[in-house]
Amino acid sequence: MGLAKDFFIYLSQNKVLNSGAKRYGLKLGAKSVVAGTNVEEMIESVKALNIQGISCTIDNLGEFVYEREEATKAKEQILNVIEAIHEHQVDAHISLKPTQLGLDIDYDFCFKNLKDIVEAANRYNIFVNVDMEDYGHLQPSFDLIDELSKSYNNIGTVIQAYFFRAEEDIEKYKNYRLRLVKGAYKESSEVAYQDKQLIDQNFVRLIEYHLLHGKFTSIATHDHNIINHVKQFVKDNNIPLDKFEFQMLYGFRKDMQVQLAKEGFNFCTYVPFGDDWYGYFMRRLAERPANLQLVGKQVFNK
Ligand code: FAD
| Domain regions of the chain by residue span | 35-276
Amino acid of residue 73: K
3.40.50.150, 3.10.100.10, 3.10.310.40, 3.20.20.220: CATH of 35-276: 3.20.20.220
Has 283 been labeled as part of a binding site? yes
| Ligand 1 pocket, residue 63 CB under 6 Å | no
CA distances for 118 relative to 65, 90, 124, 129, 301, angstroms: 19, 18, 10, 9, 40
Has 97 been labeled as part of a binding site? yes
pLDDT band of 203, cuts 50, 70, 90: very high
Q: Which residues are catalytic?
A: 131, 179
CA 158 to ligand 1: nearest atom: 28
CA 221 to ligand 1 centroid distance, Å: 5
124 has pLDDT over 90:
yes
pLDDT of residue 279: 78
CA distance 58 to 35: 10
> Any idea what DSSP says for residue 128?
E
pLDDT of residue 284: 83
296 has pLDDT over 70:
no
CA 97 to ligand 1: nearest atom: 28
CA distance 260 to 265: 6
299 has pLDDT over 60:
no
Listed range (14-18, 127-131, 200-204, 276-280) with the worst mean pLDDT: 14-18
| Ligand 1 pocket, residue 222 CB under 6 Å | yes
CA distance 130 to 51: 26
**What would the DSSP string read from start to end of 163-194?**
BTTHHHHHHHTTTS-EEEE---S---TTTB--
CA distance 81 to 41: 12
